[in-house]
Amino acid sequence: MKADISNRKDIEILIHSFYDKVKPNPVIGFIFTEVVKMDWEHHIPVIVDFWEGILLDNPVYQRNAMEVHYHLNNIIPLHKEHFDTWLSLFFSTVDELFEGKIANLAKTRAKSIAGLMLFKMNGINQINLRDDT
């Protein structure tokens, strides 16, 4: 049995592992490596802050996540396939590393966030991914 997500270190492991899958991905990797040219040393701690707030109720993230993605959507339109791929990679990373209540919460929240962003950016009201969380 795998451990559940229980602290910031667990979230750091999750996010590093997730982005290790994202970077080479043919559907969304180029967005991070070529379009945004992500500064990973800066980005990873910010994303860990975001997820720490969502999963562990520690409000360390003080930014507007939607604003950043709206800006990105103006540079390269983000489509349903991008969100579905992001979710699939996120779910598989969580499943490989963790199991339990907080791990399931991570997947539920990720699906909600992706669905909201897809709807706000494209008016599409559906994310295709399993509903087993």
**How many domains does the chain divide into?**
1
Residue 127 lies in a domain: no
The pLDDT value recorded for residue 73 is 84
Which amino acid, one-letter code, is at 46? Answer: V
Q: Percentage of residues in the chain with pLDDT exceeding 70? A: 92
User: Whole-model pTM?
Assistant: 0.88
Phi, psi of 21 (to 5 degrees): -85, -35
- Mean pLDDT confidence for 111-119: 90
Q: How confident is the model at residue 66 (pLDDT cuts 50, 70, 90)?
A: confident
Residue 32 lies in a domain: yes
Residue 116 lies in a domain: yes
CA 99, 131, 19, 6 dihedral sign is: negative
Q: What is the DSSP string of 33-75?
A: IIIS---HHHHHHHHHHHHHHHHH------S-HHHHHHHHHHH
Q: What is the CATH number of the domain that holds 13?
A: 1.10.490.10
